[in-house]
Structure 1
Amino acid sequence: MGYAPVKSVLNHCQIVTFFLAIFVNYFPVRNLSAAEPLTPLKTISQTTGTVSALRFSVDNQSVYLGTYGQLQVVSIESAETLHKLDKLSGYITSIAASPDGKLLAAGHYQKVTLFNTEDYSQLIQLKHHRGQVTGANFLSNQQLLTAADDGTIALWKLTDDVWSLAESLANDEPITSLAVDPAGKWAAIGLGDETRVTRPGSVVIIDLETFQEKKSHVIHKSAVASLATTNDGKSVLSGSFDESIIVTSVLDGIQTGIFKQHARPVNCIATVPEKEIIFSGSGGRYKEKNELIGWNLSTGEVLIKSEPHAGKITAVAVSVDGKFLATGSQDETAIIWDLAGFLK
């Protein structure tokens, strides 16, 4: 049993299993047959540094890859770089695609740069944040939400063909990550300072209708490093420098699950559309335990655990159609995986 379902009725066997999971911290690792491996399809190595952000295109034909000063558009089929978008300040640490696929947003140092995906021409640079832009999500084709490690979160709107700042909030802690629920009703920001390892990490829920902080949960021993939402929009998953992933109910703030199979900080999390499958990537200052783990959200069962990169895993993404997985690393490579075959 991977979780503590505190809000459900449990029979005697379930209770015993649950407490064994807590005290022994045991998560079963599935024995994969030869017919169902997680197979790498392509390796992308022509980068300018650590692969710091990944996102698949809406049409599932390309993967967007962020590195130092550059955003690459790479073909999934051939792994060829179709476009290189250069002269961006610092590392690209967040990437977002509009629902219609016509706009691409790249968050980097103090700026969010928007591109037209028809020819990948630069449209505008949005300036509000004073730090590294650590999160970007389109709420619609006309609204973009961004966050940065200076503690600010911004809502941008397109009106009469002009992008402008509509709302903003500020927090005392660095924002390390951003996630938006599928229905667009709320957003979650992860807080914490990775340089202060004993300082707890928090998850803050923001009501997107009022653009006000709704709830704040101090749930990690160290800074939050990554966020994702469940497909039903009821929970948020937070990965931390404390090497755990915690599942928290948005409605009441109750922690409904904790996953402790990583041995290094959890740098990235991605959910598989329409399935209760999670992929998380980890790694820290040490060479070993740069792990990719695929696991079941309901049970905590580990489906796959591997170390495919020579450096820490810094980014993970799943395609919109759920057929591909991408991982990026400090080893300056990205790998595209056959997720459809694995999930058969």
Structure 2
Amino acid sequence: MRTVKPSRKASSSLDKFLMIWNLKPQSRAFRFVGHVEAVNSVQFSPDGQLLASASQDRTVRLWVPCIHGESSVLKAHTAAVRSVNFSHDGHFLVTASNDKSIKMWSVHRQRLLFSLSQHTHWVRCAKFSPDGRLIASCSEDKTVRIWDTTNKVCVDSFTDYEGFANFVDFNPSGTCVVSAGANHTVKLWDIRMNKLLQHYKVHRAEVNCVSFHPSGNYIITAASDGTLKIMDLLEGRLIYTLHGHKGPVLSVAFSKGGEKFASGGADSQVLLWNTNFDAFNRKEVLKHHLRRTHTDDPPHLLDIYPRSPHPHNVKSQSIEISPNFDVTDLQTLDPPVIDIGSSSSFSSPATNKGLIPVPELIYSQYHQIYPYL
């Protein structure tokens, strides 16, 4: 699972399909058929008019996400394509591959613009900054690199000798990048000062994916220990541990407005959760956080000059949530699934009495999710 729109979400899978799940009652689900091997990554364009997918079959596809969906194939990579990401304006696409390269594409012209090739091992993920001027990438060469899209050069590099990152992304303001590590860690780097801001080691297994809340104040992580965890970046601490998947959690993404998030796991399930962050007056939440922003320790995301990286470990005040699965289960044939083939192509959870209520599982769907290998 890679992308969540207000009324639908998309998932990718080792079953060679990508799915669009419509969240309205009695609506249909679409299964897009075209890739010949596992689909590793999928994302909606910012306007929702296109869907991009990356596959083990070495190709990238652009789909029109409707019942009359068409697709075009982009070929340039010489090995499995790990990730795909649209620029904020939807004009460009960046892909990362096991051929050790990052490639940037024109969406409208459907052509390769250039390649970035300084990584020395498989590139697991590449993402645009919010303004599109930078690309962040992570590789099994144990580096996270920042690239200038105008000059096509690497302008910064962060090295982690303890392991490599499975996933990387920019925060909503574009000032920091987060990396999800195979060594069980999540790290937040300030790219303006080339400095590690926060370091979380709250999972017991490798972290596969991270998603920023649109406010930039929270991240949610998905890990192979079977849990999702929500960190408050302003307070610098773990606040929730979510249980629901039976096995590794491979992907997670907030919706555009942040009111929901979806997770996908090796248990073939796609789960949809209510965030519930907006249950209280937003000004009161911000006022609460501002009191913490100017304390002496630990350094926080909004500190202008944090003195040193601050490690964060599991704390007893974090809340564990195990849903009772009293949710809609779409393993059944309702709603119907419509196959869209390449032939039509063109080239009751507990409540929290604190300031922020607990996330709530509201939807369950079955679809084999592709694990990062």
Instruction: Provide the TM-score with structure 1 as the length reference.
Output: 0.76
1:147 to 96, 100, 118: 96
Aligned ranges for residues 156-167 of structure 1 at < 5 Å? 156-158=105-107, 162-167=109-114
Query: Matched residues in 2 for 1:255 and 1:205: separation?
Result: 14
Measure how far apart 1:242 and its partner are.
0.6
Are residue 121 (structure 1) and residue 69 (structure 2) matched?
yes
Q: Is the 8 A contact 2:83 2:125 kept in 1?
A: yes
Q: What does residue 290 of structure 1 align with? A: 226
Measure how far apart 1:120 and its partner are.
5.2
Q: What does residue 279 of structure 1 align with? A: 220
Query: Matched residues in 2 for 1:180 and 1:112: separation?
Result: 17
Measure how far apart 1:323 and its partner are.
1.1
Query: Matched residues in 1 for 2:279 and 2:83: separation?
Result: 29
Aligned amino acid, residue 184 of structure 1: G
Cα distance per residue 1:224-275 (max 9 Å; x no partner):
1111211211010001111001111112321111011111100010011024
Q: What does residue 308 of structure 1 align with? A: 244
Query: What are the ranges of 5 or more consecutive residues in structure 1 without an aligned counterpart?
Result: 1-52, 194-200, 284-288
Aligned amino acid, residue 19 of structure 2: Q
Q: What does residue 37 of structure 2 align with? A: 90
Are residue 242 (structure 1) and residue 178 (structure 2) matched?
no
Measure how far apart 1:65 and its partner are.
0.8
Aligned ranges for residues 58-137 of structure 1 at < 5 Å? 60-68=6-14, 69-78=16-25, 81-109=28-56, 110-119=58-67, 121-137=69-85
Query: What are the ranges of 5 or more consecutive residues in structure 2 without an aligned counterpart?
Result: 281-373
Q: What does residue 294 of structure 2 align with? A: none
Query: Matched residues in 2 for 1:236 and 1:190: separation?
Result: 11
Query: Matched residues in 1 for 2:90 and 2:170: separation?
Result: 20
Q: Percent identity?
A: 21
Aligned ranges for residues 1-344 of structure 1 at < 5 Å? 53-57=1-5, 60-68=6-14, 69-78=16-25, 81-109=28-56, 110-119=58-67, 121-139=69-87, 140-158=89-107, 162-170=109-117, 171-192=119-140, 201-283=142-224, 289-340=225-276, 344=280
Query: Matched residues in 1 for 2:205 and 2:162: separation?
Result: 14
Measure how far apart 1:80 and its partner are.
5.7
Query: Matched residues in 2 for 1:78 and 1:301: separation?
Result: 37
Q: Which deviates more from structure 2 when the two are superposed, residues 248-257 or residues 265-274? A: 248-257
Query: Matched residues in 2 for 1:82 and 1:144: separation?
Result: 25
The 3-state SS of whatever aligns with 2:48 is coil
Q: Is the 8 A contact 2:30 2:67 kept in 1?
A: no
Superposed CA RMSD in Å reads 1.8
Q: Is the 8 A contact 1:76 1:336 kept in 2?
A: no
Instruction: Provide the TM-score with structure 2 as the length reference.
Output: 0.70
Q: Is the 8 A contact 1:322 1:340 kept in 2?
A: no
Q: Is the 8 A contact 2:124 2:167 kept in 1?
A: yes
| CA distance 1:207–1:295, shift in 2 (3 Å) | same
Measure how far apart 1:183 and its partner are.
1.5
Measure how far apart 1:130 and its partner are.
1.8
| CA distance 1:79–1:206, shift in 2 (3 Å) | farther
| CA distance 1:120–1:229, shift in 2 (3 Å) | farther
Q: Is the 8 A contact 1:220 1:242 kept in 2?
A: no
Q: Is the 8 A contact 2:102 2:115 kept in 1?
A: yes
The 3-state SS of whatever aligns with 1:121 is coil
Q: Is the 8 A contact 1:70 1:86 kept in 2?
A: yes
Q: Is the 8 A contact 1:102 1:118 kept in 2?
A: no
Query: Matched residues in 2 for 1:256 and 1:263: separation?
Result: 21
Measure how far apart 1:116 and its partner are.
1.2
Query: Matched residues in 1 for 2:102 and 2:279: separation?
Result: 36
